[in-house]
Amino acid sequence: MIFVGARRADDGVMRFSARLPNDTATLLLLAGFIIVLVGLSARTHDEASDNIVAISGIASVLLLATYGVWVVGYIKGGPAPAGAAAHSEGMLPLRTAIVLLALAGVGAALVSDWFVAALRPTIDQVGVSEQFAGLVVVAIAGNAVENATGVVLAAKGQADLAISVVKNSVAQIAAFLFPALVLVSLLFADRLTFDLAPLYVGALFLTTLSIWQVTGDGEATSFEGAALMATYVILAVFTLYE
């Protein structure tokens, strides 16, 4: 998206409002902070590592609360889109929109799980790892609509909307869906936590820093877009050989 948007600009620089990228980076840094601490605790086997489930539950509540403050701030303080008043009758109530968003997020997670299960025969036949299937195959297929929309909008010069589509999706997964699933899993025997393999802990944190570096100033070039794509491909190669 950034590569396309920058190439489309006359001076080779894609420009957009820096508020959303910086807010998204803050949410990702908070999620990364939690994941890094949990990962370090689990790998060093300190006393806190015996309570990873409880720590993940508490962290999920705090992460969801922070996400809620962010969303409410945008709803109350964000500028109203042009023509919004004319279409206000067709807008969903806030509570309805939140419930639908939550249900859609949980549904997407379940569909992704079913998708991976359906891919099992192919994964075994081809010989790729589950990590590669999840990070590359499922991720690309699951985010195809957002990614394609972002590229099309960037190509049309609608940089702010393109950034909003892509980065809001990232924020919803890291700061809403992940912690929500952690809390839901407490109702079952198998609990989901923030404890990830060291490779993915490092990848998540470094990727967050890369995104913040590239988009935090409200400008991005095709070189920076190419660097982000290379970052993703390198991580995909690591998962391919696991």
The answer to whether residue 192 is domain-embedded is yes
Helix/strand/coil for 164? helix
Helix/strand/coil for 126? helix
Cβ contact 14:154 at 8 Å: yes
Q: How many residues does the chain have?
A: 242
pLDDT value of residue 84: 40
- Provide the H-helix boundaries in 19-93: 19-44, 52-77
The answer to whether residue 85 is domain-embedded is no
178 CB-contact burial (10 Å; exposed 0-12 / middle 13-18 / buried 19+): buried
Residue bearing tokens 């990070």: 135
CA 119 to chain CA centroid, Å, is 23
DSSP code of 104? H
The answer to whether residue 73 is domain-embedded is yes
- Residue 44 CA to residue 54 CA, distance in Å, equals 18
Tens place of pLDDT per residue across the chain (242 aa): 899 999 989 899 999 988 888 888 899 899 999 999 999 999 999 999 999 999 999 999 999 999 989 888 777 765 544 334 444 455 667 678 778 877 876 776 677 677 767 777 887 888 888 788 878 887 887 777 788 888 998 999 999 888 888 877 788 888 888 999 899 999 998 899 999 988 889 998 899 899 899 999 999 999 999 999 999 999 999 998 87
Q: What is the number of structural domains in the chain?
A: 1
- What is the three-state SS of 138-190? HHHHHCHHHHHHHHHHHHCCCHHHHHHHHHHHHHHHHHHHHHHHHHHHCCCCC
pLDDT value of residue 77: 63
- Residue 45 CA to residue 39 CA, distance in Å, equals 10
CA 127 to chain CA centroid, Å, is 27
- Give the structural domain span for 104: 2-78+93-240
The answer to whether residue 52 is domain-embedded is yes
pLDDT value of residue 173: 82
Other C-beta atoms within 10 Å of 123: how many?
A: 16
E-assigned strands of the chain?
13-15, 219-221
Mutual angle of helices 94-126 and 178-185, in 10-degree steps: 80
- Residue 71 CA to residue 88 CA, distance in Å, equals 19
The answer to whether residue 115 is domain-embedded is yes
Strands 13-15 and 219-221: antiparallel
The answer to whether residue 83 is domain-embedded is no
C-alpha gyration radius of the chain:
19
**Residues in contact with 191: Cβ distance below 8 Å, sequence separation at least 6, in sequence order:** 53, 56, 182, 185
Residue bearing tokens 């892509």: 166
The answer to whether residue 86 is domain-embedded is no
The answer to whether residue 132 is domain-embedded is yes
